[in-house]
Amino acid sequence: MIRSDFFTAASAKRRLRLVAANLALVAFVATTPFARAATPNQVLAGLRDFFTRTARADGSFAPGIDPDYRGMSDSAYSDLAAVTYAVTLHKTFGWELPHEEATRRFLLSRQRPNGDFFNVAGTVDPASAEGRVYNTTQGIVALRALGAKPRYDPMRVFEEIGDYKTLPAYFTSFFPLAYLAYGQPIPAEADRRIRATMRQAPDGYLNDHIAATFHAAHYYRLVGEPTPMADRIVERALRDQKPDGSWLLNLPSRDRHATFDAVFTLRQLGHGRADCRAAIERAVRWALACRNPDGGFGHFPGSASDADANYFQIGVLVMAGFLKPADPLPPDAHLLSWGHLMPVAGLNR
């Protein structure tokens, strides 16, 4: 779940022009007939077709249908992203993967004897702290969803992180997710040190952005504790929603996952509130506006269909109730990627 921050790369005036141009494009595309017309069955049929066209014989998945497409956000960051999100969505809906046994073998082949999972394609350095944590979390999560375990103990990757503050603010919930997906609780000392980095502003937000705030809410749900300042977080998230249903507040590169992040946060922290329910329903319009004729989803209306975008837009539609997951849910559904099947606090898993 990778974010970009371009706020040091351009002047304030140029940033405002870029945001205005992108919002104008979004407003135009979101009114097209295709963006408005989609039933749940059509969405699911299109998604399955996208997966069929991007599945590779070795069990991996391409980031998009165009063979020259290199991905965006997570799918550009690491070639493990497209595989993990394909596994997650297939298990969400009870589908068999196109080459399920090959996918299992592919993921197992991407682990080193020291425990690290690694990417071959993508922008992240697999030897960096970020690359090690990202790839290993994705590998553990995908293998658990496939009913398998890593060949080598991957936990040393997380134990060797000396200073959590050197990681981006949105890496917090990677740690409990990885530990739980491997069948262990997060160690008390790691928990204490990570929580010390999650400093909230008076409005409850972390890092003045929904991304880090979402990961804090996700973290606390994974460890089974209430999110501090939940009511204040909800109030800001409600204020920040745009009329089109999105949380596109900054340059698009910074807010690719913002709508998913906000919907998870409102669903978990504002469950039962009518205003949160209405905001989530508005987010459905945005997610559907990002759907393309090839059956996939882009991060924004008019952007190319992308393996990463598929997960986050479908996640919004599942959390909103527009799409129904498999019944019964897959085992440990709350550990599938970033919590689109996480039950709200107080409900049984």
Three-state DSSP at 200 gives: coil
More confident residue, 211 or 164: 211
Calculate the average pLDDT of the chain: 90
% of the chain with per-residue pLDDT over 70: 88
Judged by average pLDDT, the poorest of 8-12, 25-29, 222-226 is: 8-12
* pLDDT at residue 12 greater than cutoff 50: no
Would you state the structure tokens that stand for residue 190, as one six-digit string?
Answer: 């790691």
pLDDT in tens, 70-91: 988 889 999 999 999 999 999 9
Helix axes 174-181, 129-145, angle to 10 degrees: 40
In the chain, what are the domain boundaries? Answer: 30-335
Best-predicted range by mean pLDDT among 23-32, 165-174, 231-240?
231-240
Q: Supply the pLDDT for residue 72.
A: 84
* pLDDT at residue 1 greater than cutoff 80: no
pLDDT in tens, 216-256: 999 999 999 999 999 999 999 999 999 999 999 998 888 89
User: Average pLDDT for residues 212-216, to the nearest whole number?
Assistant: 97
346 pLDDT band, cuts 50/70/90, is low
* pLDDT at residue 2 greater than cutoff 80: no
34 pLDDT band, cuts 50/70/90, is low
Residue 14, number of CB atoms within 10 A of its CB: 10
Q: Supply the pLDDT for residue 30.
A: 46
User: Average pLDDT for residues 292-313, to the nearest whole number?
Assistant: 96
User: Average pLDDT for residues 263-271, to the nearest whole number?
Assistant: 98
CA distance 252 to 247: 10
CA distance 29 to 301: 6
Q: Which amino acid is located at 325 in the chain?
A: P
Q: Supply the pLDDT for residue 3.
A: 55
Q: Supply the pLDDT for residue 99.
A: 98
> Looking up tokens 């394909």, which residue turns up?
86
CATH 3.30.460.10 describes domain 30-335: no
Distances (CA, A) of 44 to 54, 60, 132, 135, 186: 15, 20, 33, 27, 35
Q: Supply the pLDDT for residue 7.
A: 34
